[in-house]
């Protein structure tokens, strides 16, 4: 059954909990995920309970390191040459008296994994009473879990298509939300558009939970005010505008010149102005090399000047990155600066999340969350709306309009004469 779900969903990374195995081999992995490229790490089970298995396709997720704890398994994944992120799978203890060690391990992982961290799986505890069916009391474990999420500064996205992830499968069921994915705001820099859903439950008492990036195609072009602060931007924009030679009527030429300049700006942003993280990494590496030269007694005035120049460039890039986050957050009452960068980025991600269409109502009143169907509904709506024939672009309901001829139009556009003004306004 698990294999059928994997074939249908085509994931890049899979987390399985309660595998109840101390070791796994290639044959066992192939029985779950039929691919010769699969790699994995395992948190061994204790006897016949627990155990976590993380599997991934190295063609899409090139894991560089892993860490196995008492209650968790983590892998380190590079995003590019200079940045990486972590994902941690956990299996929480069901006994409240034994959870303190689990909380301590999560707090330690937060420090180790830094700002780009995602964790999830079965925590065996709910955050609020609303996450447990027919529950109205707040237990100490709930309060501890909620406090931990806030202290670790984790985002806890809701389930879009359900309330609970576990059921005891009884006639009078007990349902809870024990499984979830959470992440830091830094992790959303790499995956800004994401959603958390559940799949139909087939063999387990837990619903499969899916955390996926929403793919809506290319985003619309938006002019960034921070580009104007770049010293060569205005002169470059003037050159791009003059270089765009277009023939035709004035409105058409203006439109095509704007389109040409837009393409030039996008290329310039990607190749010259952009790639801030990569350039910051290069400068940090250069500064580190110069520091090593100084510590080895090879310092000189030339080394000091080069380090000073590199630090100035690094500070400029940091300020540039902060200005981008500041503008995109659309918050004007907070000043720019390093102290508020995380705040700006958090607001930016909130705006993106609110602007994302996760569900849409069909004509019959039912709800769909399928991306392809949402796109088809939106396209069909606008095609029908703008494709209507015999639609008047002007007019007032209940008032009949008569078109004027050319002679009447010329009379209306003529300048007023002095005699006409005097006849209407007698002094």
Q: Is 374 helix (H, G, I), strand (E, B) or coil?
A: helix
State the DSSP code for 152: T
- pLDDT (tens digit, 9 = 90+) per residue, 272-309? 776 666 777 788 888 888 887 777 777 788 888 888 88
Given a contact cutoff of 8 angstroms between Cβ atoms, the answer to whether 42 and 24 are in contact is yes
How does the average pLDDT of the chain come out, rounded? Answer: 81
Name the more confident of 217 and 106: 106
CA angle 188, 9, 359 (to 5 degrees): 60
Given a contact cutoff of 8 angstroms between Cβ atoms, the answer to whether 11 and 42 are in contact is no
Given a contact cutoff of 8 angstroms between Cβ atoms, the answer to whether 181 and 196 are in contact is yes
pLDDT of residue 332: 46
Q: Residue 179 pLDDT more than 90?
A: yes
Domains of the chain: 2-213 (3.60.10.10)
Least confident of 121-130, 174-183, 275-284, 306-315: 275-284
Given a contact cutoff of 8 angstroms between Cβ atoms, the answer to whether 13 and 63 are in contact is no
Q: How far apart are CA 145 and CA 121, in angstroms?
A: 14
State the DSSP code for 132: B
Q: How far apart are CA 158 and CA 349, in angstroms?
A: 15
pLDDT of residue 41: 94
Query: Residues 410-415: what's their mean pLDDT?
Result: 82
- The string over 102-124, giving b where at least 16 C-beta atoms fall within 10 Å of a residue's C-beta and e elsewhere, is bbebbeebbeebebbbbbbbbbb
Nearest to 183 by CA among 109, 111, 116: 116
Q: How far apart are CA 235 and CA 354, in angstroms?
A: 37
- pLDDT (tens digit, 9 = 90+) per residue, 318-331? 776 666 655 555 54
pLDDT of residue 333: 39
Which of the four pLDDT bands, split at 50, 70 and 90, describes residue 394? low
Which of the four pLDDT bands, split at 50, 70 and 90, describes residue 337? very low
Query: Are β-strands 84-91 and 117-122 bridged in parallel, bridged antiparallel, or unpaired?
Result: parallel
Given a contact cutoff of 8 angstroms between Cβ atoms, the answer to whether 248 and 259 are in contact is no
pLDDT of residue 85: 93
Least confident of 35-49, 113-127, 411-425: 411-425
pLDDT of residue 395: 60
pLDDT of residue 331: 47
Q: Is 182 helix (H, G, I), strand (E, B) or coil?
A: strand
Query: Are β-strands 117-122 and 179-183 bridged in parallel, bridged antiparallel, or unpaired?
Result: antiparallel
What is the largest distance, in Å, between two alpha-carbon atoms of the chain? Answer: 107
Which of the four pLDDT bands, split at 50, 70 and 90, describes residue 334? very low
CB-based burial label for 188 (10 Å; 0-12, 13-18, 19+):
buried
- State the angle between helix axes of 341-355 and 301-329 in degrees (0 to 180), rounded to the nearest 10: 40
Q: Where are the alpha helices (DSSP H) in 296-405?
A: 301-329, 341-355, 371-386
pLDDT of residue 352: 57
């Amino acid at each position: 059954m698990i294999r059928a779900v994997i074939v249908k969903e085509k994931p890049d990374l899979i987390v399985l909990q309660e595998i109840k195995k101390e070791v796994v081999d290639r044959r066992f992995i192939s029985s779950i995920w039929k691919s010769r490229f699969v790699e994995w790490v395992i948190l061994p089970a204790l006897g016949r309970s627990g155990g976590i298995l993380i599997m991934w396709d190295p063609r899409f997720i090139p894991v560089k390191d892993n860490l196995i704890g008492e209650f968790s398994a983590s892998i380190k994944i590079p995003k590019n040459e200079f940045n990486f992120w972590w994902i941690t799978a956990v299996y929480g203890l069901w006994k409240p008296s034994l959870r303190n060690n689990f909380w301590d391990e999560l707090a330690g992982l937060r420090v180790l994994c830094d700002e780009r961290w995602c964790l999830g799986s079965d925590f065996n505890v709910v955050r609020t009473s609303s996450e447990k069916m027919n529950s109205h009391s707040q237990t100490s474990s709930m309060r501890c879990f909620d406090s931990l999420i806030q202290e670790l500064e984790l985002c806890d996205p809701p389930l879009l298509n359900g309330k609970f992830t576990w059921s005891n499968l009884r006639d009078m069921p007990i349902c809870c939300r024990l499984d979830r994915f959470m992440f830091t705001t830094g992790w959303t820099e790499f995956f800004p558009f994401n959603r958390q859903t559940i799949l139909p439950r087939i063999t387990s008492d837990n619903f499969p939970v899916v955390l996926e990036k929403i793919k809506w195609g290319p985003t619309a072009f938006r002019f960034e005010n921070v580009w104007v602060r770049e010293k060569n931007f205005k002169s470059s924009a003037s050159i791009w505008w003059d270089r765009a030679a277009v023939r035709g009527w004035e409105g058409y030429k203006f439109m095509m010149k704007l389109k040409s300049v837009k393409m030039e700006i996008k290329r310039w942003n990607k190749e010259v102005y952009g790639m801030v993280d990569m350039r910051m990494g290069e400068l940090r590496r250069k500064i580190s090399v110069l520091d090593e030269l100084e510590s080895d007694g090879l310092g000189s005035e030339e080394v000091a000047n080069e380090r000073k120049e590199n630090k100035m460039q690094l500070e400029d890039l940091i300020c540039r990155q902060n200005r981008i986050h500041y503008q995109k957050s659309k918050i004007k009452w907070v000043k720019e600066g390093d102290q508020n960068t995380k705040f700006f980025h958090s607001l930016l991600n909130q705006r993106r999340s609110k602007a994302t269409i996760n569900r849409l109502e069909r004509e019959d009143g039912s709800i769909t969350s399928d991306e392809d169907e949402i796109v088809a509904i939106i396209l069909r709506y606008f095609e029908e709306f703008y494709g209507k024939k015999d639609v008047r672009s002007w007019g007032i309901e209940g008032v009949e309009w008569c078109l004027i001829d050319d002679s009447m139009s010329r009379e209306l556009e003529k300048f007023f004469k002095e005699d006409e003004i005097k006849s209407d306004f007698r002094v």
